[in-house]
A and B are shown apart, each in its own frame.
Chain A
Amino acid sequence: MAGQSDPHISLFSAEEVEFMAEDELIEIVPNMRMDPLNFICGDFGPFLPQIATQVPLWLAVALKKRGKCAIRPPQWMSVENLTRVLEGERDTQGAFQALPFHYVEISRLLFDHARDDIPDMYMVRSLVEDIRDVRIHKVETSLEKFSGTSAVKIPNLSAMEVNIIRPFVGRALQAFYKHDNPEKIPDVDRAPSGHTRVANNEPRRPLRR
């Protein structure tokens, strides 16, 4: 599952996460008639004017660019829902609100391509940015708290946020595990066990020239 980005730093770059987010299904309202499309991932259609259908996001954006459809924003992207989520994020310090796994990428793609399809676009955009800031801040403060553990579980984190903290948390946990290992120091008085090498003290034969 490695992407093309630098394997030492992180496994996925931001663009790759966006690419994977485009597989999510979204509802569109086409304004033309088209036969069903048969792809490897599935069949979509037939497209009839003014009848809503579910398609993957990449197909929706491609159709929108050609002016063949209007994208209907998903349920969670309404102003009331986002305001409620924002309040919830600000109130609960430890937990994260349940949001779709790819909300960052989906919202960015919709803002870039389907600006006129979202009611109150500026409000929704500022709400999503606020939610994202609050969540990243919460992740950082909760990362400060753990120390000396080998595994950390954070529920309800979205794909982009996970991608940001992935290399850092991986290395930090490795370092903690290395230092915190209580078995590491054997007693010096014990006789050397079988797996330590015992040096050979015989007189050495001179090598033949």
Chain B
Amino acid sequence: MANYYNIDDILTEEEFVPVVFHKSANGVIIDPSSETNSVEQGAKVELPLWLAQELYLRQAISISVPACFNQKTRLEIQADAACVDLKFRSPYFYEFGCKIAPLVGDKSVEILLLSAFKIRYKEILTKAYTAAYTATSKFFTLLTKEETNLYEAAQSSMVAFKKWRMGGPRLQRASVLGRKRKLIE
């Protein structure tokens, strides 16, 4: 329950997963182009993860592997994990995989995530500490939210250290004291 209020967790569950309905459902508008407001048995639709989880518990659907973990992505990651654009697939790639894995029952997702993360982590490490300025390289667009957090944490602490090394006044005036309030008559 520690993640209930976590914004990243909520947004992770917003991602779509393909599901197959086992029972038919009435009164739902999932497919805007269909005429009737219902879904038949055996229909394939895309639902957000939070909805899919609940329906899965009621045994109304079965979840298949989402599109971002398909074979094409796997081949790309095996080729060179550091250059794969994971943010395009989904900005919450890793968390999404962790949530999907017990529902789909596919163990290879887990191993894929771990190996991809290990390789990309090395890249993040080298780039975070050596860049003297925030390099607007193509690398940033490839990172998921989690990796971006990691990168920014390292970057900010390095920048703070360099600023301290330069010197400067020990005591700084608080920014709240900057403006003088006018008396309201």
**Chain A residues in the interface with B (C-beta under 8 A):** 9-10, 13-15, 18, 108, 112, 136, 140, 143-144, 147-148, 160, 163-168, 171-172, 175-176, 178-180, 184-188, 196-199, 201
| A residues in contact with B117, CB < 8 Å | 175-176, 179
In whole Å, how far is B118's beta carbon from the nearest beta carbon of chain A? 5
Bound-state Cα–Cα, A13 to B94, Å: 30
Number of chain B residues whose Cβ lies closer than 8 Å to a Cβ of chain A? 37
Pick from B101, B118, B128: contact of A168, CB under 8 Å:
B128
Q: Is the CB of A15 within 8 A of B164?
A: yes
A-B interface pairs (CB < 8 A), number = 91
In whole Å, how far is B155's beta carbon from the nearest beta carbon of chain A? 9
Instruction: Name the 7 nearest CB pairs between A and B, nearest first.
Output: A14-B164, A167-B153, A168-B154, A188-B105, A199-B58, A199-B57, A179-B114
Which one of A14, A136, A168, A187 has the highest number of Cβ atoms from chain B below 10 Å of its Cβ? A168
| B residues in contact with A201, CB < 8 Å | 58
| A residues in contact with B170, CB < 8 Å | 15
Q: Is the CB of B157 within 8 A of A172?
A: no
- Please report whether the interface of chain B is mostly helix, strand, loop or mixed according to DSSP: helix
Tell me the nearest residue of chain A to B97, going by C-beta. Answer: A179
| B residues in contact with A18, CB < 8 Å | 164
In whole Å, how far is A178's beta carbon from the nearest beta carbon of chain B? 7
Does chain A have a CB within 8 A of B80?
A: no
Does chain A have a CB within 8 A of B158?
A: yes
Pick from A10, A180, A186, A199: contact of B157, CB under 8 Å:
A10
Q: Is the CB of A163 within 8 A of B161?
A: yes
Q: Is the CB of B57 within 8 A of A197?
A: yes
Q: Per-residue CB proximity of B115-152 to A under 8 Å, as 1/0?
A: 00110011001101100000000000000001001101
